């Protein structure tokens, strides 16, 4: 059967498997592209001779581009279909990674980061909308595996960039090679992606998120906030609150990412066996317990174990929430996912600053403890929001 048949028209098993592989490559490529920027940050700081304050302001452009583009991406997916938005946004690594490597001024770097964040945000929304279409055609959970491939892409991208930089290749050459390879990976299976159902690809329109979508977005915000806290604060907590060595402190996020990837790659099996509500409920509980272990254990290795539990617990929260958003009645998957994504990434953006303020007023341990309490709120809301 030709690729591009709507899920509602009865896609063959072979067509679904082709779409799964193609969209899996999109998730993997998006993860690699996002991670490729991380090793460039200190090199950009040196090239532009800027301080941490200026660098922090520049880095806000990445998230700002994503947040501004995500609501618009939902409208584009509704109007043109997720497959076409994936193709457009998939050009971003090839076009913008080399520009990030050579941007000569702080302003040009900020503009390039804004565009990169916007197109990655569009890719994020469209590939998740495509995942919902695939789940509908396959009549089984696929979202966790897709997100697991994104996490795996993050590990691959960071490792690949570090390896090539270590070999002494010029940064712009590395960025051009990686960006071109990622774009080809994302676009290679574009013809195998499925067309969205008519409700998702119909005429453009706008509706304010409401009810279940808002609640899903708030829960997603908490999940992203919990994830961002490990990224931004785990090393600081281990180094200064648990007296860990710099090398050991740096392992916190790496081990967290490892368990998150493992959890996501096995998530669909868990969801099919136990259902989305228990996976969301007990995942949030496990993440809260992980924070508790990290905060209460006086030994650095035990705290590392706590952050590993956090990664395992958080691994399938966002996939379950995105799948639930894609099934909200009377709202297209693209619009619902864009609304939930925007709220979620707001937590990822604002989280570090909020946690820093709370830490300044009280302590870092107290700030992280508040996240554990918020995760218990996710656990308590799981049955109501996902069933609804």
Q: Which residue has the higher pLDDT, 165 or 172?
A: 172
In this structure, of 2-16, 109-123, 334-348, the range with the lowest mean pLDDT score is 2-16
Task: Please give the class, per CATH, of domain 7-201.
Answer: mainly alpha
What does the mean pLDDT of the chain come to?
Answer: 85
Residue 173: pLDDT band with limits 50, 70, 90: very high
Listed ranges 72-76, 85-89, 159-163; the one with the highest mean pLDDT? 85-89
Residue 210 pLDDT: 62
Is residue 157 pLDDT above 80, yes or no? yes
What pTM was computed for the model?
A: 0.76
Contact 11, 5 (CB under 8 A): yes
Residue 235 pLDDT: 79
Where do the domains of the chain lie? Answer: 7-201, 212-387
Listed ranges 45-49, 76-80, 175-179, 189-193; the one with the highest mean pLDDT? 175-179
Is residue 206 pLDDT above 70, yes or no? no
**Equal fold, 7-201 vs 212-387:** yes
A 10 A CB-CB count for 264 gives 26
Residue 52 pLDDT: 64
Q: What percent of the chain has pLDDT over 90?
A: 37
Residue 8: pLDDT band with limits 50, 70, 90: very low
> What does the alpha-carbon distance between residue 386 and residue 81 come to, in Å, rounded to a whole number?
25
* 237-263: pLDDT as tens digits: 888 888 888 768 777 877 888 898 899
In this structure, of 121-125, 218-222, 239-243, the range with the lowest mean pLDDT score is 239-243
Kindly state the average pLDDT of the residues 100-104.
92
Q: Which residue has the higher pLDDT, 384 or 258?
A: 258
Is residue 196 pLDDT above 70, yes or no? yes
Kindly state the average pLDDT of the residues 54-62.
79
Q: Which of 249, 236, 230 is nearest to 287 (CA)?
A: 230
> What does the alpha-carbon distance between residue 297 and residue 156 come to, in Å, rounded to a whole number?
31
Is residue 363 pLDDT above 60, yes or no? yes
Continuous H helices in the chain: 13-37, 40-48, 52-80, 82-89, 92-102, 106-138, 143-166, 171-188, 198-201, 212-240, 246-249, 251-265, 267-274, 276-296, 300-314, 317-326, 333-361, 364-387
In this structure, of 21-30, 225-234, 286-295, the range with the lowest mean pLDDT score is 225-234
Task: Please give the class, per CATH, of domain 212-387.
Answer: mainly alpha
């Amino acid at each position: 059967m030709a690729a591009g048949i709507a899920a509602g028209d009865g896609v063959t098993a072979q067509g679904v498997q082709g779409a799964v592989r193609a969209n899996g490559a999109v998730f993997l490529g998006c993860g690699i592209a996002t991670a490729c920027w991380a090793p460039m940050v200190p090199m950009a700081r040196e090239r532009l001779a800027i301080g941490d304050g200026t660098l922090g302001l520049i880095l806000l452009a990445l998230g700002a581009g994503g947040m501004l583009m995500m609501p618009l991406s939902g409208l584009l997916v509704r109007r043109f279909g997720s497959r076409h938005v994936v193709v457009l946004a998939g050009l971003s690594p090839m076009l913008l990674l080399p520009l990030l490597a050579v941007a000569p001024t702080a302003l040009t770097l900020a503009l390039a980061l804004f565009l990169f964040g916007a197109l990655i945000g569009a890719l994020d929304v469209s590939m998740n909308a495509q995942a919902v279409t695939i789940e509908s055609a396959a009549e089984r959970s696929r979202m966790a595996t897709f997100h697991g491939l994104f996490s795996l892409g993050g590990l691959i991208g960071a490792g690949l960039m570090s390896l090539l930089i270590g070999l002494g290749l010029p940064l712009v050459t590395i960025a051009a090679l990686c960006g071109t390879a990622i774009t080809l990976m994302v676009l290679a299976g574009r013809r195998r992606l499925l067309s969205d159902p008519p409700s998702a690809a119909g005429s453009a329109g706008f509706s304010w998120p409401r009810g279940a979508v808002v609640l899903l977005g708030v829960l997603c915000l908490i999940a992203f906030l919990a994830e961002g806290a490990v990224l931004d604060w785990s090393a600081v907590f281990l180094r200064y609150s648990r007296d860990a060595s710099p090398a050991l402190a740096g392992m916190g996020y790496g081990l967290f990412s490892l368990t998150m990837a493992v959890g996501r790659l096995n998530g669909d099996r868990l969801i099919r066996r136990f259902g989305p509500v228990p996976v969301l409920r007990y995942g949030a509980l496990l993440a809260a317990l992980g924070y508790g272990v990290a905060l209460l254990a006086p030994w650095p290795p035990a705290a590392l174990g706590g952050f590993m539990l956090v990664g395992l617990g958080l691994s399938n929260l966002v996939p379950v929430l995105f799948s639930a958003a894609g099934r909200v009645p009377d709202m297209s998957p693209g619009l619902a996912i864009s609304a939930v994504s925007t709220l979620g990434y707001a937590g990822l953006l604002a989280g570090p600053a909020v946690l820093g303020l709370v830490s300044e007023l009280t302590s870092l341990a107290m700030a992280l403890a508040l996240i554990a309490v918020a995760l218990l709120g996710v656990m308590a809301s799981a049955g109501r929001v996902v069933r609804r």
